[in-house]
Amino acid sequence: MPTTSPLIRTALLLLCIACSACVNLQHQLDRHERDLAQLRADMARLQGATHSEIEQVRSDMQTLSGSIEETIVVQRREIQSLQKRLDRMSVAAQPAPSAIEPSEPAAVAAPQDTPAVDTEQTLYDRALQLYYAREYEQSRASFQAFAGQYPTSHLTQNALFWVGMCLYQQKKYQNSIAAFEDLIKKFPQSTKVPESYYWQALAFIELKETLTAEILLETLMQTYPTSESAQKAQTKYQEIKSGNTR
């Protein structure tokens, strides 16, 4: 019986080993291809989901932007409507020319040697004293006379503010609103403007028009956020929202 030489046996052994290695390598390649295919499928699904999420976010942003723009438009319309109403109230509340004439001419007469600025201050102080004495009608008339006699005085804007306050204290709320509006229009840069908005809002609350009061308080807080009046407006606004206003 012929025998196989060691060299042939070694070659056959190496061939078997090589075949086995090829089979294992093919299995590994097949497995890697399946894993790669699965990875590609997962990436495709992830990309699809991410794209869908991005589109959803974009859609939400567009919806939110449209909602904000709509809110701004509505608020502007409300403010414009309120401004027109205030204009009508201001015109309706304008007193007749005779009503703003001083009721006591002697009270405004000054000595010949008294400077005009001293006269202005004296009249202003007298009108203010009447207010704190709760003589609101006399105080209002005095402040109106002052504003008519000294339209360019640095105290005139304050006088117009106190006219509005006198009318508020007399519960003449519509006339009070018109008086404050007169100040806001004539002296838009006055330090009394924020306080005028605040008291206008309070007058509208007294008239049971809380929505209009809210608009004025919002305008005050947005336009004069650092003012003392804005802080009071924030408190009053929260009271309205919580239903604690009378």
pLDDT tens-digit map of 159-210 = 999 999 999 999 999 999 999 999 999 999 999 999 999 999 999 999 999 9
81 contact partners, CB below 8 Å, separation of at least 6: none
Band of pLDDT at residue 45, cut at 50, 70 and 90: confident
User: When comparing pLDDT for 5 and 241, which is higher?
Assistant: 241
What one-character DSSP code corresponds to residue 97? G
Say whether 203 sits in a helix, a strand or coil: helix
Band of pLDDT at residue 9, cut at 50, 70 and 90: low
Q: Of 17-26, 58-67, 198-207, give the lowest mean pLDDT range.
A: 58-67
Same structural domain for residues 181 and 123?
Answer: yes
Which pTM does this prediction carry? 0.57
Beta strands in the chain (DSSP E): none
Same structural domain for residues 162 and 90?
Answer: yes
Residue 73 has pLDDT above 60, yes or no: no
Q: Which of 190, 221, 238 is the last residue of a domain?
A: 190
Is the CB of residue 101 less than 8 Å from the CB of residue 145? yes
Band of pLDDT at residue 109, cut at 50, 70 and 90: very low
CATH number of the structural domain spanning residue 165: 1.25.40.10
Same structural domain for residues 123 and 185?
Answer: yes
Instruction: Report which residue type is found at 240.
Output: I
Radius of gyration of the chain (CA): 42
* Within-domain flag for 200: yes
The mean pLDDT of 149-160, rounded to a whole number, is 96
Same structural domain for residues 172 and 126?
Answer: yes
Report the share of the chain in percent with pLDDT over 90: 49
Q: Report the pLDDT value the prediction gives residue 51, as an integer from 0 to 100.
A: 65
Same structural domain for residues 134 and 229?
Answer: no
The mean pLDDT of 4-18, rounded to a whole number, is 65
Count: domains in the chain: 2
* Within-domain flag for 211: yes
* Within-domain flag for 43: no
Same structural domain for residues 196 and 208?
Answer: yes
The mean pLDDT of 4-17, rounded to a whole number, is 65
* Within-domain flag for 171: yes
Q: Which residues in 185-197 are b (16+ Cβ under 10 Å) and which e?
A: eebeebebbbbbb
Same structural domain for residues 145 and 221?
Answer: no
Q: Mean pLDDT score of the chain, rounded to an integer?
A: 79
Q: Name the phi and psi angles at 187, rounded to 5.
A: -135, 70
Same structural domain for residues 229 and 209?
Answer: yes
Same structural domain for residues 202 and 239?
Answer: yes
Structure-token match 């306080």, residue found: 195
Residue 241 has pLDDT above 70, yes or no: yes
Residue 148 lies in domain = 84-97+115-190
